[in-house]
Amino acid sequence: MQDWSIPLIVATAGFLVVLLWQVRPMVGWGRQRGASRDEVRAAQERIESAKTDEERAMALCDAADLLAPSSAKGLYLRAIRANPSSVRVIERAVAGLRRRPRALESVLWRHLASSRWTDTREASRAALDALRALYEGPLRRAVRAKAMANARDALK
């Protein structure tokens, strides 16, 4: 190999990486298997046309269900912010992010930090219960699991 060919190979590889990154939305990386661009686009339109916070939260959850878990985290956070007192939104986030326990933990903690527990009592109990299950299961933190159970019981 000649000295000038090494930088050429590096530049070509860099160009291909940037090209693949730019083409990524057209290929469909970031969506669930079987979800088409049209379905994702229709879900986005439902989000924009929602009239109430509850409709908006459900539309955000529907859109998040079409995306891969790594891309869905932001939509679940928006859904929880749109309707923080909805237990159903918390359950949908738990179901959608069950394969990504760290992302789910982050979403649940953000919900608990951003809302008053007394105003969103049932949703907070659902979030605490989901955190308890996470800490007993995949994240294996027994002390935190007990703390979440105690906090959930204190909300009764």
Q: Give the structural domain span for 60.
A: 31-154
Are residues 137 and 120 both part of a single domain? yes
Burial of 83 from C-beta contacts in 10 A (0-12 / 13-18 / 19+):
buried
Are residues 17 and 53 both part of a single domain? no
- Report the number of distinct structural domains present in the chain: 2
| Alpha-carbon gap, residue 135 to 109, rounded angstroms | 13
Q: What is the pLDDT of residues 111-141, one digit of tens each?
A: 999 999 989 999 999 999 999 999 999 999 9
| Alpha-carbon gap, residue 149 to 91, rounded angstroms | 17
The crossing angle, in degrees rounded to 10, of helices 142-154 and 121-136 is 160
Are residues 18 and 91 both part of a single domain? no
Are residues 20 and 81 both part of a single domain? no
Give percent above pLDDT 90 in the chain. Answer: 61
Are residues 73 and 102 both part of a single domain? yes
* Average of per-residue pLDDT values in the chain: 87
Which residue would you say has higher pLDDT here, 34 or 63? Answer: 63
Are residues 123 and 103 both part of a single domain? yes
Are residues 70 and 121 both part of a single domain? yes
Q: What is the pLDDT of residues 70-90, one digit of tens each?
A: 778 999 999 999 999 999 999
| Alpha-carbon gap, residue 7 to 10, rounded angstroms | 5
Are residues 24 and 70 both part of a single domain? no
pLDDT of 29 reads: 47
pLDDT of 38 reads: 82
Are residues 15 and 45 both part of a single domain? no
Q: What is the pLDDT of residues 29-56, one digit of tens each?
A: 455 555 667 888 888 899 899 899 999 9
Are residues 69 and 16 both part of a single domain? no
pLDDT of 65 reads: 87
pLDDT of 1 reads: 64
Are residues 42 and 119 both part of a single domain? yes
pLDDT of 44 reads: 87
